[in-house]
């Protein structure tokens, strides 16, 4: 009988990426210990699934890959081994069946994240994975090898034969993703791109009237077009929410990467809103050109264009006053109303973050060149994706890739030692 493998692998971070790496490693018979700063693991995962866990998406592979933008190649390598179909099959092994919603998004039958997480943790513990909560990673001891953790009873040190870092990005600090790992890795020669908000809201300089009257109101059934500085155009249908500071919501999140990049490059970004996407421009002109009689402009807009409430308020807010009394210009404003965004909301408010560990700092197995035996996974890497299951799918897949990378490295080092 071969001797038991006594090597210890530390996984730091108990989100989907870290837990998936732990599963790969424990399934291969390795001793795995998971460390997390929070009182329990998977907290951001649970909160993200509170309104319905969007696990992945059913769209065609090429369209799915396009969601990862400039990192489609790197993320595509992970997804070749663990894409949406494999993720659904894996969930089934935990007793969690999934279904495809009308939007193409894939959810667990029970909709919630908690049943999946409970079953997963039960399986990991049964496989011998040991969990250490309230252990906040603080880097290394002076020898550069032993891991340092702050715990409720003081500092603890851990010796590990390999490490998977799955520490999240910089959003939702209260759930553990605080980006505190950035200076720790930079000090050891690891390239890290600036953490920036992704899937985020934006600031708009609203008038006091609109802010007080309409903050918290949804803007539904619209289309938005964004033209980037390079001339490329993106169209997005959906809805968004007016906030005291600006705008947020699914339509805004879907465009947030392009909007953020434009603001960084030019100082602002302008969305053009179609407030009546079901109406032809010429018909709208004709309807608005009909005599108003004694009708107020508000009544005329409501009767002839179906524009009232928050949509009417946005017209008054964003269109030139002179355009509102000219039927042709009013119709043009309804079909293409400019909304100027001046800055993203703070990183900690964002659903996710862009930036992170540079891919040039890692090999194909996600091991850091500067720190052999240390691997990275999940949102702490320099990639981003919109919501809709894309973030979670890539986090799971990267954790699996990092776990396989550890196994490959351990085999190589063992062979070299013989």
Rounded Cα distance between 168 and 215, Å, is 31
Residues paired with residue 233 on neighbouring β-strands, in sequence order: 227
- The whole-number pLDDT of residue 145 equals 87
Rounded Cα distance between 397 and 327, Å, is 53
pLDDT tier at 341 (50, 70, 90 boundaries)?
very high
Rounded Cα distance between 52 and 275, Å, is 28
- Residue 21 CB-density burial (10 A; 0-12 exposed, 13-18 middle, 19+ buried): buried
In the predicted model, what is the mean pLDDT of residues 144-155?
A: 92
Give the mean pLDDT of the chain: 92
- The whole-number pLDDT of residue 1 equals 39
Query: Are 374 and 147 spatial neighbours (Cβ–Cβ below 8 Å)?
Result: no
In the predicted model, what is the mean pLDDT of residues 109-134?
A: 94
In the predicted model, what is the mean pLDDT of residues 181-192?
A: 96
- CA quadruple 146, 3, 376, 153: dihedral, nearest 10: -40
Rounded Cα distance between 129 and 18, Å, is 12
Q: Which two tokens stand for residue 60?
A: 């065609």
Q: Which two tokens stand for residue 148?
A: 């340092």
* 139: phi then psi, degrees, rounded to nearest 5: 100, -140
Ordered domains of the chain (ranges, CATH): 8-197+353-417 (3.50.50.60), 202-344 (no CATH)
Produce one character per residue of 32-42: b if its CB has 16 or more CB atoms within 10 Å, e if not: bbbbbbbeebb
Query: Tens of pLDDT along 22-52?
Result: 999 999 999 999 999 999 999 888 887 677 8
Q: Which two tokens stand for residue 299?
A: 């009544």
Integer angstrom CA distances of residue 323 from 302, 310, 316, 320, 334: 17, 18, 10, 5, 10
Rounded Cα distance between 88 and 82, Å, is 10
- CA 379, chain centre distance (Å): 8
Query: Tens of pLDDT along 373-407?
Result: 999 999 999 999 988 799 999 999 999 999 999 99
Most distant pair of Cα atoms in the chain: their distance: 95
Query: Are 366 and 402 spatial neighbours (Cβ–Cβ below 8 Å)?
Result: yes
Integer angstrom CA distances of residue 7 from 126, 161, 414: 19, 6, 11
Strand, coil or helix: 223: strand
Rounded Cα distance between 133 and 15, Å, is 12
- The whole-number pLDDT of residue 49 equals 67
E strand map for 125-211: 130-132, 136-140, 147-151, 154-158, 162-165, 192-198, 202-203
Nearest to 205 by CA among 257, 243, 248: 243
Query: Are 181 and 391 spatial neighbours (Cβ–Cβ below 8 Å)?
Result: no
- The whole-number pLDDT of residue 388 equals 79
- Residue 93 CB-density burial (10 A; 0-12 exposed, 13-18 middle, 19+ buried): exposed
Residue 4 has pLDDT above 70, yes or no: no
Query: Are 237 and 222 spatial neighbours (Cβ–Cβ below 8 Å)?
Result: yes
Query: Tens of pLDDT along 50-93?
Result: 778 899 999 999 999 999 999 999 999 999 999 999 999 999 99
CA-atom Rg of the chain in angstroms:
25
pTM for the full predicted model: 0.90
Query: Are 100 and 85 spatial neighbours (Cβ–Cβ below 8 Å)?
Result: no
Rounded Cα distance between 408 and 364, Å, is 11
Integer angstrom CA distances of residue 2 from 5, 6, 74, 104, 418: 9, 12, 37, 48, 16
In the predicted model, what is the mean pLDDT of residues 209-221?
A: 94
Integer angstrom CA distances of residue 245 from 313, 319, 409: 16, 19, 49
Q: Which two tokens stand for residue 125?
A: 């513990």
Nearest to 178 by CA among 389, 16, 350, 9: 350
Percent of the chain with pLDDT over 70: 98
Q: Is 265 left (phi over 0), alpha (psi -120 to 50) or beta?
A: alpha
Cβ-based neighbour number of residue 352 at 10 Å: 27
- The whole-number pLDDT of residue 266 equals 95
- CA 186, chain centre distance (Å): 23
Query: Tens of pLDDT along 286-320?
Result: 888 888 777 788 888 888 888 889 999 999 999 99
Residue 246 has pLDDT above 60, yes or no: yes
């Amino acid at each position: 009988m071969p001797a038991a493998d006594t090597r210890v692998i530390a996984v730091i971070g108990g989100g989907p990426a870290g837990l998936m790496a732990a599963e790969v490693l424990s399934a291969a018979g390795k001793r795995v210990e998971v460390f997390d700063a929070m009182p329990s693991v998977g907290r951001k995962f649970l909160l993200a699934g509170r309104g319905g866990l969007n696990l992945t998406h059913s769209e065609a592979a090429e369209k799915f890959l396009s969601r990862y933008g400039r990192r489609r190649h790197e993320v595509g390598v992970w997804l070749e081994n663990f894409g949406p179909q494999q993720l659904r099959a894996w969930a089934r092994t935990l007793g969690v069946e999934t279904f495809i919603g009308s939007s193409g998004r894939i959810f667990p039958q029970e909709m919630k994240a908690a049943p999946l997480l409970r079953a997963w943790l039960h399986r990991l513990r049964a496989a011998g994975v040991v969990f250490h909560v309230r252990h906040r990673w603080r880097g290394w001891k002076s020898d550069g090898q032993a891991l340092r953790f702050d715990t409720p009873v003081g500092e603890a040190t851990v010796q590990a034969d390999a490490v998977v870092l799955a520490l999240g990005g910089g959003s939702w600090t209260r759930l553990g993703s605080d980006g505190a790992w950035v200076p720790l890795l930079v000090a050891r020669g690891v390239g890290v791109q600036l953490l920036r908000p992704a899937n985020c809201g934006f600031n708009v300089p609203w008038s006091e009237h609109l802010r007080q009257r309409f903050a918290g109101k949804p803007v539904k059934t619209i289309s938005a077009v964004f033209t980037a500085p390079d001339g490329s155009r993106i169209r997005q249908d959906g809805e968004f929410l007016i906030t005291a500071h600006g705008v947020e919501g699914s339509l805004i999140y879907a465009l947030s990467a392009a909007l953020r990049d434009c603001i960084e490059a030019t100082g602002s970004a302008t969305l053009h809103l179609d407030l009546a996407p079901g109406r032809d421009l010429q018909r709208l002109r004709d309807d608005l050109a009909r005599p108003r009689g004694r009708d107020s402009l508000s009544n005329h807009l409501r009767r002839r264009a179906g524009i009232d409430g928050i949509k009417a308020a946005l017209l008054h807010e964003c269109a030139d006053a002179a355009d509102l009394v000219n039927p042709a210009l009013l119709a043009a404003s309804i079909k293409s109303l400019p909304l100027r965004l001046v800055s993203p909301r703070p990183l900690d408010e964002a659903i996710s973050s862009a930036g992170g560990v540079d891919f040039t700092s890692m090999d194909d197995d996600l091991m850091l060149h500067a720190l052999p035996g240390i691997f990275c996974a999940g949102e702490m890497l320099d990639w981003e994706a919109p919501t809709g299951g894309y973030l979670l799918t890539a986090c799971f897949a990267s954790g699996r890739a990092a776990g396989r990378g550890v196994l490959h490295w351990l085999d190589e080092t063992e062979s070299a030692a013989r």
